Amino acid sequence: MNSQAPRYFALIPAAGVGARMAASGPKQYLKIGGKPMLRHAIDAFLFSELIAHTYVVVSADDPFIDSVVPSHGVTVLRCGGATRMESVQNGLAALAGTLRENDWVLVHDAARPGLDEALIEKLITSTGEHPVGGLLALPVVDTVKRSIAGEVGTVSREGMWLAQTPQMFRYRLLRDALAAATDSARDPRQVTDDASAVEALGLSPKLVEGHPRNMKVTMPGDVRLAEMYLATAQPELL
């Protein structure tokens, strides 16, 4: 019987280049509401009493992080990889010996500045007892089209969700799932989120309804939308 109380850690992959944003530098350092995007994500975890510590994965030569990271509660891991998955894998590997096998890891995109303590608590209280883990997500409410070589069709939206982050899994399970995804014949670039690696093991994580404010800032037009969400009071949780 494991008598240790559960521990929750945040891991923020922040080693991307923001190609789709096409800004002058990596998008995670763009100011959103006067504060770098990455710092919004960090602060959500710092303000949460449930998170024991936060780790941020950046590229080895990142010149910006030292002016953004706070002086407490956060450790920078300069081990970013060529893909989001690699950055997460490298970050988890760097925490071997620090994290216990059954510690919960909440992986959250630096590109999602709208996360807040309420959503973190909702994910943890909804998932903490789940045998696999879970993630914030939004049910699809629009009709879904797929266009391939000019052929357009409609995909049933029954049971369809849009994955957000954090995605939370036990440290050992997540490391094993990502390692299996790397070893599999499947193109690892298909592993665009942490949950898909776990699902490839035949496991089903819990989907916990997130919020549109927790959007991923990807394209130039997303910056203003994210600022509008951040400018509003904390919304009632869905």
Ligand X SMILES: Nc1ccn([C@@H]2O[C@H](COP(=O)(O)OP(=O)(O)OP(=O)(O)O)[C@@H](O)[C@H]2O)c(=O)n1
Give the C-alpha separation, 200 to 177, whole Å. 8
Among 42, 99, 110, 163, binds ligand LQXTBERG (CB under 6 A): 163
**Contact, 227 vs 130, CB < 8 A?**
no
Q: What is the enclosing helix (H) or strand (E) of 31? A: strand 31-32
Q: Which residues contact 150 (CB under 8 A, 6 or more apart)?
A: none
> Considering CB distances under 5 to 8 angstroms, the limit depending on partner class, which of ligand X, ligand LQXTBERG, none binds residue 165?
ligand LQXTBERG
Least distance in Å: CB of 145 to ligand X?
Answer: 22
For the CA atoms of 52, 211, 132, 129, what is the dihedral angle to 10 degrees?
A: 60
Out of 39, 40, 53, 84, the residue judged to bind ligand LQXTBERG by CB under 6 A: 84
Contacts of 82 (CB under 8 A, 6+ apart): none
Rule CB under 6 A: say whether 164 interacts with ligand X.
Answer: no
Q: How far is the CB of 217 from ligand X (least distance, A)?
A: 8
The reply on whether position 80 binds ligand X by CB under 6 A is yes
Q: Which is nearer to ligand X, 75 or 125 (CB)?
A: 75
Residue 18 binding partner per list ligand LQXTBERG, ligand X, none, with a CB distance cut-off of 5 to 8 Å that depends on partner kind: ligand X
